[in-house]
Amino acid sequence: MPADPLHRAGNPQRSTTSQPPSGSGASAIEVRRSARRRRTVSAYREGDRTVVLIPARMSEAEEQRWVTVMLDKLAAQENKRVLGDTELSERAARLSELYFDGRARPTSVRWVTNQNTRWGSCTPAEGSIRLSHRLQGMPEYVVDYVLVHELAHLLVPGHGADFWRLLEAYPRTERARGYLEGVVAADWLPHLPAARGE
């Protein structure tokens, strides 16, 4: 049987591209295998694509595991950086284009510190969206969900069936809602005193 041309010593690298897990934030994942790379795995964003660099000898199962690990690591690094109001507004515009064909056009999108009982709010008559500062540092898909939720209110003010149909466009709605429900539930749990050392 002839040798696989992708694994010959003279061909140090091969690349495969796949679609990312739903809601990961990247449009595609490119895995680049290198014969020169022995043990290290690294990843970086290149536009809307995530590039993961792995050793050529890795199995498909190891590749999948490392892609997941590196996507989580990149997301954690990106979440440490707090978006400013300008970036938040730009993000809202991108989400509106992606999920509502650009029909939801807020006049302002900003962080506020006076919303402690809700994650976001929208005033459709003014076109303003406000997000609670408590969302800062939460996963990107959660912040995006709240933005999409408030953008949908610019198109449908109430929480009726038409509103929830609009939100079906965002693929991580249920996961984000579960995350936020967990945060709220954790706030209500009794805080036990730390165990005393004997």
pTM, two decimal places: 0.58
The yes-or-no verdict on residue 194 having pLDDT over 70 is no
Is the dihedral angle over the CA atoms 49, 52, 53, 55 positive or is it negative?
negative
The yes-or-no verdict on residue 23 having pLDDT over 70 is no
Q: What is the pLDDT of residues 84-107, one digit of tens each?
A: 889 999 999 999 999 999 999 999
Predicted pLDDT of residue 11: 40
The yes-or-no verdict on residue 19 having pLDDT over 60 is no
Whole-angstrom distance, CA of residue 144 vs CA of residue 184: 18
Q: Which residues contact 151 (CB under 8 A, 6 or more apart)?
A: 92, 95, 96, 99, 100, 104, 106, 122, 129
Q: What is the pLDDT of residues 42-89, one digit of tens each?
A: 888 876 788 899 999 999 999 999 998 888 888 777 666 677 889 999
Please give the share of the chain, as a percent, with pLDDT higher than 90. 46
